[in-house]
Structure formats: C-alpha cells, structure tokens
C-alpha cells in the first residue's frame, strides 16, 4: 500500500479533519504524521515545498489547544510570509534557510485556529511571476500533468493541496496569485479584500499594500470560508456570517455580467471560453440571470506599466533594506534576472513614476466600478488558457516576454485587485485533455458573503471534490 492509498485522511478537507479531532476519533499527531508521510511520498515528483519544520510541528501537535476551528489540521505557509521560527526564503537564493524574526497578527490568527504549520510552500521569486520555477528551488510541477506549471506565485500551495499533501494551504494574491493557480489545478481560490484581514505585517505605506491580500487555497468552499472567518480583522462592521449560514441559504437571484475578452480585449482560448459559458449556463439553471457584456473599459497598457513600476519601486526599497541588514552578504548575483530588470526599469523611470502609476490605478478602479453598475457580480475566465508547459516563462527568459505573460495571465484577475473587490475562481470545468480550468467571479466591495453563498450553491450543483479524489488516487498508483 502507498502513502496515500492506506491513508484515511488523504481525501478529507480541513473541516472534516478538524471534526475528527473534535470528536476524539483522531489526534493532531495522527493527522500530522499522515501528512508528513504524504509529503515525503509525493513531493519528490512535484516539488511543492521550499522548506520543512517537522520537529516544530510535532511539538505543537502534542501541546495543541484543540478548541480552534481547524485544530490539528496540517498546513503550509507560502514562502513569502514570515512565520515564527521557520525559514522565510521569498523564493530566492539570497535568503535560503534564513529564519524569520517573527510572525504577524495574521499568523497569530492561524495559530489560534489550531492549524499546524509543517513547512513553507514554493513561490516565484518575491511572488513576481505567474509560474513557480525558480533558480532557488527549481520547477514546481502541476499534479495533473508534471510537465505543466501550476501557475504562480502560489504554485507550491496549489500543487500541495491538489495532490493531497495537505487539505488546505496559505496563499497570497496581489493580482491573481491565489485565483490563477487554483484555476490551473482544480481548487477553489478566494480573494478577500485586504481591509477585512488581520494585519499581515506589510508596511501600510507600501504602494502595493492595497493590492496584496492573504488567504488560502482549498478543496472545499467551507474550508475557505472558515479560514476567512478565522483571519478576519477584529471589530469589523460586517464580519462574515457563520459558515453553516452561508452554506444553508441559497443566494438571491443575482444579475451577473459576463465578459470573455480580457481588459486588453484579447479573447481567451477556446477551452477558457467554453468553461466560462458552461459556468454561465449553470448559473442560469440555478436561477441567476447572465448577460454578456464588454470587459471593463480600462487602459490595459497603462495599468500594466503601473503594476510593473510599483512592483519595481517596492522591490528596490526592499533591496536597500537588505543591503543595510546584510552588508557584504547582500549579493545581487543571487537574484533572478527578471527581478533585477524590474527594479532597474522602475529606477530609470524616476520618482515621478509612482504618482503617475497610482493615478493609472485609480482611473482603472473607476472604470471597473462603472462596469459593475447594474450587476451583482461579474463573470469571466480566471485565466486565458489551461495550464501551460514548464520552461515557457522561466525567470531567465527575455524580460519583455515575461512581462507580456504576466499581463496576459492576470488579464482577468488583476482588475479585482485594482478595484478592491472580493473575487473567486471556481473549478467547474475540465478540458478534453482532463485538465481543470476555473471560472472567475467578482463582486462589489464587502460582498464576500454573497460570493461564498454562490460558491456553495455551485459546489453543490457541480461538485469538484470527486475529480480531486481521482487525481490523488492516480498519483498513488503512479507512485506505488
């Protein structure tokens, strides 16, 4: 028997695993040891982990307060977020193995929920690329086809959850890094508004702070909703309702606007169009109205330039801090060419580039809000095509090629980040080649509950968990 086939927990979501702990049918050490066996068995072929902290995790499992909503559930933290006493590598050779100085309000919320962090998941260097194949760790492989990318920057998180290593994993999203990888790997990927969440430790004055949000990738809607409730900022006027309330009540009939071309007016692949139209048909069957519309009328080149400018400026400021901290240990030769090029180009634009970039994003947000008028939600593809071959967008490729890729792969998701909307990718479609492909819903600000109510309805009407179980059974046979 293999590490998956004889594992009673492998196909359970995080909520089900926590229920077993709560009822006394299993223990946190049992869940943890089973997850470690799955990781040791599957990860060599997938490469989803940047580092492990098994001893620390075992110590926590033995002494855990079992009152948390995810008490005893093993998970991974994306290697962009510091977590106490674990390495934080940022996906770069510069920091491999460097211990984090501490955590944040957000990681403290994960601890209170009872999650057991057994390591870090791989990411693109500093989260800059929509694929996860770094010079630091090599390529992370899509469990559905190991020659394909799981996307990025949360590639390790989605690969680990889709393969069944852990039932749920932390991820982060600045322009689509939760939603895009989830679409490529058959997972549910939700992006809450940053203002809803506990502080993640990012300086609020950072030009990109309003774009970046923390959440998870999951195999079930209920895990995602539970994770959000556990990590919400204290004192919200509109906290997310209890998960049982969200799952039990169907949403009111929604007016949904569907667009197929991205914000640059580039059409999707035939598979992505079919996936979106199939989702629209299912939504109509569930009582919602769907109207085909044009994409948000934004200046796509301007918001792309703004994103790269702000990213380069932020990275340049980080590098200045690293030089002060590390002295002669700061070696830019250990950084990837794409990262260095973004910083160089942003620096060359001069200080006046930041206000211009912020203005471009404000204009894009206004255009997005105008398109949302008259609708409860917008529907589009999550990504323009199914998972793509590894090696196509390595960080050593031509920077212009990579920047064009980033704009294309985030052509549907980035607008929700700019508009400060909650959004989700729902894994309802399978291509003729057997690859998953998600559909993307966005809603106005503070409508996370409406998105979750629709997600529960879609999940019940067209469950995707059986496809993930078949994938994990296939992986067990291939490795057996």
Catalytic residue among 51, 78, 104, 283: 78
Q: How far apart are CA 435 and CA 427, in angstroms?
A: 10
Other Cβ atoms within 10 Å of 257 Cβ, number = 23
What letter would DSSP give residue 59? Answer: H
Q: Which of 234, 247, 130, 126 is nearest to 180 (CA)?
A: 130
CA distance 252 to 314: 42
Cα separations in angstroms, 317 against 14, 313, 339: 38, 6, 13
250 labelled catalytic? no
The residues that bridge with 440 in the sheet, in sequence order, are: 380, 425
Give CA–CA dist 18/119, Å, rounded.
19
Cα–Cα dist 155/153, whole Å: 5
In the block, tokens 């809000």 appear at 369
What is the four-CA torsion angle of 57, 31, 171, 434, rounded to 10 degrees? 140
CB contact at 8 A, 211 and 174: yes
Question: Residue 78 catalytic?
Answer: yes
Across the chain, which distance is largest between two alpha carbons, in Å? 63
Q: Minimal CA–CA distance to 424: which of 267, 234, 249, 220?
A: 220
Q: How far is CA 177 from the centre of its chain?
A: 5
Which residue is catalytic, options 124, 154, 177, 224? 177
Tokens of 350: 């001069």
104 has catalytic annotation = no
Helical axes 221-231 vs 105-112, angle rounded to 10°: 120
Quick check: 283 and 313 in contact, CB under 8 A? no
* Residues forming a β-bridge with 116: 74
Round to whole Å and give the CA distance between 257 and 151.
26
The single residue of 121, 153, 154, 283 carrying the catalytic annotation is 153
Instruction: Report yes or no: 430 and 467 within 8 Å, Cβ to Cβ.
Output: yes
Q: Per 3-state DSSP, what percentage of the chain is helix, strand, and coil (rounded to 5)?
A: 45, 15, 40
Which residues does the annotation mark as catalytic? 78, 153, 177
């Amino acid at each position: 028997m293999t590490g998956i086939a004889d594992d009673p927990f492998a196909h359970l979501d995080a909520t089900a695993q926590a229920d077993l702990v709560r009822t006394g049918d299993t223990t946190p050490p049992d869940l943890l040891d089973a997850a470690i066996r799955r990781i040791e068995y599957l990860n060599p072929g997938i490469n989803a982990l940047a580092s492990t902290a098994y001893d620390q995790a075992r110590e926590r499992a033995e002494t855990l307060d079992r009152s948390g909503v995810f008490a005893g559930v093993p998970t991974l933290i994306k290697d962009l977020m510091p977590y106490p006493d674990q390495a934080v590598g940022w996906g770069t050779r510069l920091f491999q193995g460097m211990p984090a100085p501490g955590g944040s309000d957000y990681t403290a919320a994960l601890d209170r929920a009872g999650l057991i962090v057994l390591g870090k998941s791989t990411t693109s260097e500093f989260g800059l690329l929509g694929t996860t194949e770094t010079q630091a760790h090599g390529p992370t492989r899509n469990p559905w086809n190991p020659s394909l990318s799981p996307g990025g920057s949360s590639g390790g998180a989605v690969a680990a959850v889709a393969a069944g290593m852990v039932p749920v994993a932390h991820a982060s999203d600045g322009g689509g890094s939760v939603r895009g990888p989830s679409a490529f790997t058959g997972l549910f990927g939700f992006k809450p508004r940053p203002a809803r969440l506990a502080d993640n430790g990012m300086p609020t004055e950072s030009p990109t702070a309003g774009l970046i949000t923390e959440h998870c990738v999951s195999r079930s809607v209920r895990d995602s909703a539970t994770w959000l409730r556990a990590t919400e900022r204290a004192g919200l006027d509109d906290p997310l309702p209890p998960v049982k309330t969200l799952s039990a009540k169907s949403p009111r009939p929604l007016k949904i606007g569907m667009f197929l071309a991205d914000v640059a007016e580039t059409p999707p692949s035939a598979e992505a169009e079919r996936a979106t139209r199939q989702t629209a048909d299912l939504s109509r069957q569930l009582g919602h109205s769907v109207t085909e519309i044009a994409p948000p009328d934004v200046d796509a080149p301007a918001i792309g330039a703004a994103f790269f400018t702000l990213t380069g400026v932020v990275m340049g400021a980080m590098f200045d801090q690293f030089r002060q901290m590390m002295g002669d240990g700061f070696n830019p030769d250990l950084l990837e060419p794409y990262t260095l090029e973004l910083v160089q180009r942003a620096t060359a634009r001069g200080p006046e580039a930041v206000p211009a970039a912020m203005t471009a994003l404000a204009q894009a947000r206004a255009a997005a809000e105008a398109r949302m008028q008259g609708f409860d939600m917008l529907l589009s593809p999550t990504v323009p095509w199914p998972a793509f071959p590894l090696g196509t967008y390595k960080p050593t490729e031509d920077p212009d090629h990579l920047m064009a890729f980033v704009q294309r792969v985030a052509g549907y998701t980035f607008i929700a980040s700019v508009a400060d909307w909650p959004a989700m990718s729902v894994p309802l479609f399978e291509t003729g080649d057997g690859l998953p492909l998600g559909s993307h819903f966005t809603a106005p600000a503070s409508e996370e509950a409406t998105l979750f109510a629709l997600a529960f309805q879609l999940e019940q009407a067209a469950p995707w968990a059986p496809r993930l179980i078949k994938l994990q059974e296939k992986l067990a046979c291939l490795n057996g």
